[in-house]
Each structure stands twice: as C-alpha cells, then as structure tokens.
Amino acid sequence: MSPQEYKKMLQKFVNGVLSVEGFETLYLTTFKSDMGGMYHPLYEILEAVFEAVDAYWYECKLGEETAFVISEERLRQEVKMALNSLNDYIYDNFKK
C-alpha cells in the first residue's frame, strides 16, 4: 500500500468514517501484509500506529491507560500524531 493510501486510511479513522473496530482490523491486516521493503522512516511512522492499535483495549477509559493498554481516545491521538508525521513524509518524498 502506498503512503498516500495509508494516509487515507488514517484520515478515515481520525474523521470517524472508520470505527475503531474496523480500523483495527483493516490496519493490522494491511500493515502485516505490507511490512517487506518499506523505507525505514515510513516504517517507523506506521509501526507506531501498529503498536498503538495493538495496545488498544475497548474497555480502557481515558486516564486509565498503562504502558501496555490504551483507550480509544488515546488511540485516536496516536493516529493523529502519526498522520501528521506521514503528511510530512509524503511532502518531503513525493513533492512535485
């Protein structure tokens, strides 16, 4: 999947178009099948999202997070930060 396609996926989640469950399934499946041959800076951005999705637990509430469990609100925050980094990556590497 291209960086631009990942961007669209992250935007859909941040904007509420994708539910947390839908995003979790789609992202984990896509990222796991895409891991080979990814440039390191892009991999770091997308790996951070993977780790956040992996740490998400539906019963966790904001403020109850630990180093291993995060809430939906925290997941959205993490994805927003990754989306900003991904936008910078796309701008730096794909500007015309």
Q: Which phi-psi region, left, alpha or beta, contains residue 16 (left: φ > 0; alpha: ψ -120 to 50)? A: left
Residue boundaries of the structural domains of the chain? 3-89
pLDDT tens, per residue, the chain with 96 residues: 999 999 999 999 999 999 999 999 999 999 999 877 788 899 999 999 999 999 999 999 989 999 899 999 999 999 999 999 999 999 999 875
* Gap between the Cα atoms of 42 and 46, Å rounded: 6
Q: Which fold has domain 3-89?
A: Four Helix Bundle (Hemerythrin (Met), subunit A) (1.20.120)
Element holding 70 (H helix, E strand): none
User: Rounded to two decimals, what is the model's pTM?
Assistant: 0.91
25 token code pair: 């399934």
